[in-house]
Amino acid sequence: MIRVEDGKECPPSKRPRPDRQGSSPILDPLLPGLPDDLALLCLARVDRISALWGVARSWQRRLYDCPFFFPARAKLGLPGGFNWLYVLIASKNTNNSLDLDDHRTGGAAAFQWYAFDPLAAKWHRLPPMPHDVRFELSRRGFLPGPYSLSSIQCASTSDKLIVVAGTRTAGAGTQTAPSSRAATASVPRAPPGGMPPVEPALDSPLVFHVRTASWSRGPRYTVPRRWCSCGTTAGGQLLVASGCGNEWDLRTARQAEMWDTNGGAVAGWRAVQPLESSKLSREATPAVEFDGKLYMVSARSGLVFNPGSETWEPMQSGLTRGWNGPGVTSGGKLFVMDDTAGRIKAYDGGTESWVCVLEDKRLKNLRNVVAAHGKICGSVGGLIRVVDIGKNPVEFRDIEIPVEGQIMGLQILSKLEGSVEL
């Protein structure tokens, strides 16, 4: 049995063999001749975790279920290798319709998070988000191409899934407990042939904790916003910048604030240096963590936020010029998905230029792009496409979502500790 410092024990092998008397199981050692705790430390030092599964299939589940193995690898600076995919799906409404581009539906869709276990190839349903959270789905944005607006902004740390902001039809519901009839009694109507007014859907971020399989609320925003830029640092700091509230105003469009997600809601928001302009406003630009900083690129400009000094810096011209799609980082490298041309490009800091590392028609029209451990994932239609750029040749894998609907968000986090298996 593998014992760890906090008193927990790793699950034994799934196939224990009985002793000669048949009274109690005798477990096969991980490595013959070594105690399991010492063998675990040896196995944790293997660079490519997939090599372990090639030696003994019994190691796969045994180490995967051990709460000590992957933290031990993390302390050694090695990748974990078994993160899960978390996907937000807008499923069909009671009328069996989901026309996300038609504002007349009122965004009448059910929103549910699911998690995919890549080892067991099984989907799990997360507990529902707190209260009745509704999002408007018909506003695609003010800019064409890869910078089209997303109605929902999400971020994540290694063990927290964060719904940061969203847009809803004005008066369509409240994030807080739905006890006030005044909040829903008068719903603004759209002018003839027009679209109804919208407002921020959340007055605080919603946080899902994968280790407890539970939701909590972050601190209330100083100004609830929509169409904002957001992202997290390696240390768990969440940055929210720009965007707009019920109405657009310059102050909110330039405002930026941070929250330490490790401190819970009591940590509160703290103001950081405002943006010099409102160029990121209403573009919902994701903030990509790279080399200890957060990078944001819109159709009009590129900005870099330094969490250490909590200040904004100009972006290198080479970075901005070639950044023409969703950006992600993996293995210490910065990639851009040119989903129009079907290319993945990597940034070369030495020459300050972008180099094409893969061109394939299966990369076209990928949305909600995320990456980890040499794999780039994105959504296309009702599929999640996984591209393993760490293998030669590159491998593609398509994963069908568990329910019919549209993928609205995609994140990569650590494994889920509790859920409802589908």
Lateral strand order in the sheet of 395-400: 367-372, 375-380, 383-388, 395-400
pLDDT at 59 over 50: yes
Position 104 scores a pLDDT of: 40
- Give all domains of the chain, ordered by start, each with its CATH number: 17-75 (no CATH), 84-172+195-421 (2.120.10.80)
pLDDT at 58 over 90: no
Average pLDDT over residues 119-124: 87
Position 67 scores a pLDDT of: 67
Torsion (CA) 113, 162, 82, 383 in degrees, nearest 10: 40
Position 168 scores a pLDDT of: 87
Average pLDDT over residues 221-237: 93
pLDDT confidence bin for 391, thresholds 50/70/90: confident
Choose the weakest-confidence range: 65-69, 175-179, 279-283: 175-179
Position 193 scores a pLDDT of: 53
Average pLDDT over residues 153-158: 93
pLDDT at 312 over 60: yes
Tens of pLDDT, residues 250-286: 999 999 999 999 998 889 999 999 999 888 877 778 9
pLDDT at 184 over 60: no
Whether the Cβ atoms of residue 345 and residue 322 lie closer than 8 Å to each other = yes
pLDDT at 14 over 90: no
Distances (CA, A) of 237 to 44, 222, 251, 255, 390: 28, 17, 22, 17, 28
pLDDT confidence bin for 107, thresholds 50/70/90: very low
pTM for the model: 0.79
Report the percentage of the chain scoring pLDDT > 70.
74
